[in-house]
Amino acid sequence: MSAVVDLDGVTFSYGDSVAVRDVSLTIGSGEFLGLVGPNGSGKTTLLHLMLGLHSPDSGSIELFGQPVEEFDQGERIGYVSQQSTNRGGTMPVTVREAVTMGRFAHAGRSRLSDEDGEIVEQALETVGITDLADRRINQLSGGQRQRAYIARAVASEADLLALDEPTVGVDAESRDAFYRLLDSLNDRGITIVLIEHDIGVVTDRAERIACINTELFHHGDTESFVESDALEEAYGSTGRVVHHHH
Ligand code: ADP
C-alpha cells in the first residue's frame, strides 16, 4: 500500500505554545482514518500540517510521496474545512459551476469535452445534489454546501478527502446520509481523513484511528483503539497545558 500522507516527527507551535508534538504517522492509499481527541488537542492543526497549510517547526511531511512544501497536485485533494459550513460562503457561483471548476482542475485544459461534462453530472449525482445544480453555493444550507464541495472533489478525481467536523450543525438524518456517502466514496478507493467529535461515529466507520492530544496517543486499527485506554488517556491528559506548569 503506497502512502498518501507520511508524517515523521512533526512538531508545530503557535508562538511558544506547542500544538502538535513529535507526531509520526502514515496514511495508506484507500484508508479511512478517524482523527479524534478533545477540544483544542491539535486535530485541525495536524490536518492543516498534512495538507501543507502550516509548515512544521521540525519533522517532515510527504503528500503522495512528494515533500509537502513542493506538492503541486492540489486537485488530488478535497478539503472540507470547518468554515465550509458557514453561512455566507465565498463563491457566488452555482453548484454546477463550482463542480465544473473541479473538473477543470483535473483536466488542466481551458475547454472541457462532452465527457468532462458528463463527469460533472455524474459527480453531482454521486453526491446526491443534482436537484441543487443551478442553485448558488452561497444560498445552500451547511450540509448541502459540504456535498457541493465533495462533488467538486469527485469531479476533480481527488484521491484524498480531508474533512474537519463536516456534520457540525447538520441534522441527524442528513448526517447519516452524509456518512453513507463517505463510505461509498471510500469504497471507490478514495482515502479519507475525518475529524469527528462523535467517537461512536468514527469507530463505526474508520478502519484506523489516530487519537491525539498534542502528542499521538494511538495510531492503529479501530479495534485495538476501542480496546485500549488511549481515549481515556488522551482526554485525561491536560495536553500542552501541563507542560507549561513544569
Ligand atoms: P482541535 O482541532 O483539536 O480543536 P486545534 O488544532 O484547533 O485543535 O488547536 C490546537 C491548539 O492550538 C489549541 O490550544 C488552540 O487554541 C491553538 N491554536 C489553534 N489555532 C491557533 C492560532 N491560529 N493561533 C494560536 N493558537 C492556535
Q: pLDDT tens digits, residue range 39-73?
A: 999 999 999 999 999 999 999 999 999 999 999 99
CA of 48, closest atom in ligand 1:
6
Q: How far is the CA of 186 from the centre of ligand 1 (A)?
A: 28
Question: Binning pLDDT at 50, 70 and 90, where does residue 122 land?
Answer: very high
Residue type present at position 109: R
Domains of the chain, start order: 3-245 (3.40.50.300)
CA of 47, closest atom in ligand 1:
6
Considering the chain, what is the average pLDDT of its residues?
A: 90
Cα gap 84→142, rounded to integer Å: 7
Query: What percent helix, strand, coil does the chain show, rounded to 5?
Result: 45, 25, 30
Tell me the pairing of strands 191-195 and 160-164.
parallel
Please list, residue by residue across 17-41, b when 16 or more beta carbons sit within 10 angstroms of its beta carbon and e when fewer do.
ebbbbebebbbeebbbbbbbbbeeb
Is the CB of 214 inside a 6 Å radius of any atom of ligand 1?
no
Closest protein CA for atom 12 of ligand 1: 19
Mention every residue, 6+ apart, whose C-beta is less than 8 A from residue 74.
Answer: 105
CA of 42, closest atom in ligand 1:
6
pLDDT of residue 88: 46
Question: What ipTM was assigned to the predicted interfaces of this complex?
Answer: 0.98
How many C-beta neighbours within 10 Å does residue 69 have? 12
Mean pLDDT of 230-241: 75
Q: How far is the CA of 55 from the centre of ligand 1 (A)?
A: 15
Residue type present at position 129: I
User: How many Cα atoms within 13 Å fall on the side-chain side of residue 246?
Assistant: 6
Is the CB of 245 inside a 6 Å radius of any atom of ligand 1?
no
Cα gap 2→164, rounded to integer Å: 24
Question: Binning pLDDT at 50, 70 and 90, where does residue 85 land?
Answer: low
Ligand 1 pocket, mutate which of 14, 18, 216 (most atoms under 8 A from CB): 14
Residue with cell 479511512: 32
Question: Binning pLDDT at 50, 70 and 90, where does residue 174 land?
Answer: confident
Mean pLDDT of 224-228: 93
CA of 39, closest atom in ligand 1:
4
Closest protein CA for atom 24 of ligand 1: 14
Length of the chain: 246
Q: Residue 90 is placed in which grid cell?
A: 465565498
